[in-house]
Structure 1
Amino acid sequence: MKKLKFFNKIMFLVNSLAAFLLLISYLLPYLPPKSFATLSVLSLGVPLLILLNILFFIYWVLQVKKQMLLSLVVLILGWSYLSSMYKFSSSKKVENENNISVMSYNVRLFNIFEWLPNKTVKADITELIKKEQPDILCLQEYRTKDPVELNGYYGYNTTFNNAVKRGQALFSKFPIINSGSLEFSGTSNNVIFADIVKAKDTIRIYNVHLQSSGVNTDVEILKKETSGQLFKQVSKTFKAQQTQVELFLKHKSKCPYKTIVTGDFNNTAYSYIYKEIKGDDLVDTFEEAGNGFGKTYDFKFFPLRIDFILVDESFTVNGFKTFDNKLSDHYPIKATIALD
């Protein structure tokens, strides 16, 4: 440190802070938001912290400085975080006659409030679904007042008592023999489920939409918010999410079938929320067969993956795709799986 020039001393101080915060973030999946609400907010910034530490590592390498070891060690300690954010391997695609395709998509009410200038969002989303023909389709923020017309699917959806009639929807090419909804108090978010039959197997599908922070990601709007206000809002959201997840896990624990959990978690793979939902018995299909950043949310500052398809370990993951269709503030994802 003494041999560093003044500018590099400042750089190393910033590097040390970024490394320390990333190191602390490795504990976040084990810290319940109800007890560590403010600290849990850090999980949203993990992708940025990873990118910063990579940049600092490259910076010191180019200068042949031993300070490169700081970020290198922290990144190695969190290698699973790196693989969760970015998959270096190419997308896996295995053809199998037993394959089942599962698509999840937060459609943001088909753009009825014209967040996007595109006037044909609903038609474009419908066309995408018809082109991809997923065997199982889970939609969040689905406008039940103006449903999508899909042939060849069994369907189940929930409607909330509000002006736009929004909820979640689940469609299946396989017969649905049971379905229901897990209602969360004081919110329009919820979880719906359906039991489907494929050949001799019954499979439980959960379509999850956890509490949203309600924070507008528009840069100009964010500038008007104080950091205290943002932290308070997100902390409150994560506490609500924990309550919602506890309700979901209680319901899931009674399920006798192989399970698929899809949807918009409104949280990252570095969070307590994700860890609890994934548990020890589910596999993240992106980590198994995806590639690249796997970005699922249109966040301006760094790639965010907050939409997931998690499947029982009994399934083999034969493919995963993240679409780049700009028809919502989320991007659709699709996994291809097969029962062993």
Structure 2
Amino acid sequence: MKIFRLILLLLHLGLLFLLTGVLLNAYIPPKIFPWFNLLSLGFPILVIAYILLTFFWIFSWKKRAFVFMFLGLFFLNPVKRWINYSSESKETANLKVLTFNIKGGKLGSEQIIDYIDKQNADLIFIQEYGDGGELKLKNGIGKHDLSIISLYTNYKVVSRKNLFENLSDGDITAQCAQIDLEIKGKIYRVFNVHLESFGFLKSMVKLNGNGEEDEQKVKGVVKKLIPTFKSHQEQVKILREAIDNSPYPVIVAGDFNSVPNSYEYYETSKGLKDAFYEVGRGSGTSFHDYKYPLRIDYIFTSESIQPVTYEVDHSVHLSDHFPVIATFKIN
């Protein structure tokens, strides 16, 4: 029994080490050490295993349980970025934002249009909207787009810019539109973001129990992940500079192809509010195609913009992403 407990203790310490590595994404970019970013993908599994082992020590009446419980407090905020239970805000919202990767409308463009129209959002951020054709929204909202991303709004467009126009790798799936809008008499700068896709298919990540084939699949996944992490670093740097140089309050929304506690998340969210972290409830999972908790769609805002509600609409299966809807109070 002592040997068994020793093995569990070493395993628990190993999990603690790996979870600490995830937190280092806030300081170490992928081009220096990409493996910490890789760990962020496994964060839910690592945390669950850590909690289960902590309960084991509690039920075994071991003093080390208190040590692991105390150290586990350092991971409360990282967990809240995946699963959150915020109290209800008492503020009254006057701005509604929707962001939705619609997968080119392949699962029903008419149903997508009907759904978006019913939301009656003030700002609609669309990613992967297909062949460049305009969504014929019934409420007549205008369209301001690049090739795969589009912003629909009734508010006046003051200026717009393609932030990723001169990327060194020129990947077409990496796009970011910077658009200045006049909202209720004040200028706001909004960013519609789609960081570079990993280019995975289900067949590429689904293991079938064949040891040799599964090993090759894992190696293939890692070979795609690492270079994309490094590309994301360049893309986020451009976005970060644009946010820092903005003379106006900002709203940043879209598909980041990155999970919470990743380098991309930490770097983008500096000085901004994550609407889910502030007022979200339940699971923040927004990508459901792999049957694994992946939150990769976000809405960030300046400190002066107050989140009121946040919802990932898990009832809608019109894409491999769920739509994300949030409301805010602006002056």
Question: Do they superpose with TM above 0.5?
Answer: yes
Alignment of 1:183-198 (within 5 A): 183=165, 184=167, 185-188=169-172, 189-198=174-183
In 1, distance between residues paired with 2:91 and 2:53? 38
Alignment of 1:124-163 (within 5 A): 124-150=111-137, 151-159=139-147
- SS of 1:137's equivalent in the other structure is strand
Cα shift readout 1:174-208 (whole Å, capped 9, x = no counterpart)? 12122221223431121012211122201111000
Aligned residues: 319
In 1, distance between residues paired with 2:265 and 2:171? 20
- SS of 2:81's equivalent in the other structure is helix
Displacement of 1:270: 0.4
Q: Structure 1's 30 and 312: CA in aligned 2 closer, same or farther, altered over 3 A?
A: same
In 2, distance between residues paired with 1:220 and 1:203? 40
Quote the residue 1:202 is aligned against.
187
Quote the residue 1:162 is aligned against.
none
Quote the residue 2:100 is aligned against.
105
Specify which of 87, 92, 97 is matched with residue 95 of structure 1: 92
Quote the residue 2:19 is aligned against.
22
Percent pairwise identity? 29
Alignment of 1:116-265 (within 5 A): 121-150=108-137, 151-159=139-147, 167-182=148-163, 183=165, 184=167, 185-188=169-172, 189-217=174-202, 221-223=206-208, 224=214, 225-265=216-256
Displacement of 1:295: 0.8
Contact 2:205-2:221 within 8 A present in 1 as well: no
In structure 2, list runs of 5 or more residues that go unmatched. 209-213
Contact 2:175-2:193 within 8 A present in 1 as well: yes
In 2, distance between residues paired with 1:126 and 1:11? 52
Letter in 1 for 2:96: S
Alignment of 1:269-288 (within 5 A): 269-280=260-271, 282-288=272-278
Answer yes or no: is 1:314 the counterpart of 2:304.
yes
Contact 2:256-2:296 within 8 A present in 1 as well: yes
Displacement of 1:144: 4.2
In 1, distance between residues paired with 2:203 and 2:273? 33
Displacement of 1:124: 1.7
Quote the residue 1:293 is aligned against.
283
Q: Structure 1's 211 and 219: CA in aligned 2 closer, same or farther, altered over 3 A?
A: closer
In structure 1, list runs of 5 or more residues that go unmatched. 112-117, 160-166
In 1, distance between residues paired with 2:241 and 2:53? 43
Q: Structure 1's 313 and 53: CA in aligned 2 closer, same or farther, altered over 3 A?
A: same
Displacement of 1:158: 1.2
Alignment of 1:34-113 (within 5 A): 34-69=31-66, 71-90=68-87, 92=89, 94-96=91-93, 99-111=94-106
Quote the residue 2:325 is aligned against.
334
In 2, distance between residues paired with 1:69 and 1:295? 31
In 2, distance between residues paired with 1:298 and 1:12? 34
Letter in 2 for 1:171: Y
Contact 2:86-2:278 within 8 A present in 1 as well: no
Contact 1:38-1:231 within 8 A present in 2 as well: no
In 2, distance between residues paired with 1:88 and 1:289? 8
Letter in 2 for 1:273: E
- SS of 1:205's equivalent in the other structure is strand
In 2, distance between residues paired with 1:217 and 1:11? 34
| RMSD between aligned residues | 2.2
Displacement of 1:271: 1.5
Displacement of 1:251: 3.0
Q: Structure 1's 93 and 236: CA in aligned 2 closer, same or farther, altered over 3 A?
A: farther
TM-score normalised according to structure 2 size? 0.89
Q: Which deviates more, 81-90 or 197-206?
A: 81-90
TM-score normalised according to structure 1 size? 0.86
Quote the residue 2:295 is aligned against.
305
Quote the residue 1:115 is aligned against.
none
Q: Structure 1's 332 and 93: CA in aligned 2 closer, same or farther, altered over 3 A?
A: farther
Cα shift readout 1:35-56 (whole Å, capped 9, x = no counterpart)? 1123321111112211221222
Letter in 2 for 1:258: P
Contact 2:274-2:299 within 8 A present in 1 as well: yes
In 2, distance between residues paired with 1:238 and 1:258? 28
- SS of 2:197's equivalent in the other structure is coil
Contact 1:38-1:232 within 8 A present in 2 as well: no
Contact 1:108-1:329 within 8 A present in 2 as well: yes
In 2, distance between residues paired with 1:256 and 1:176? 16
Contact 1:101-1:136 within 8 A present in 2 as well: yes
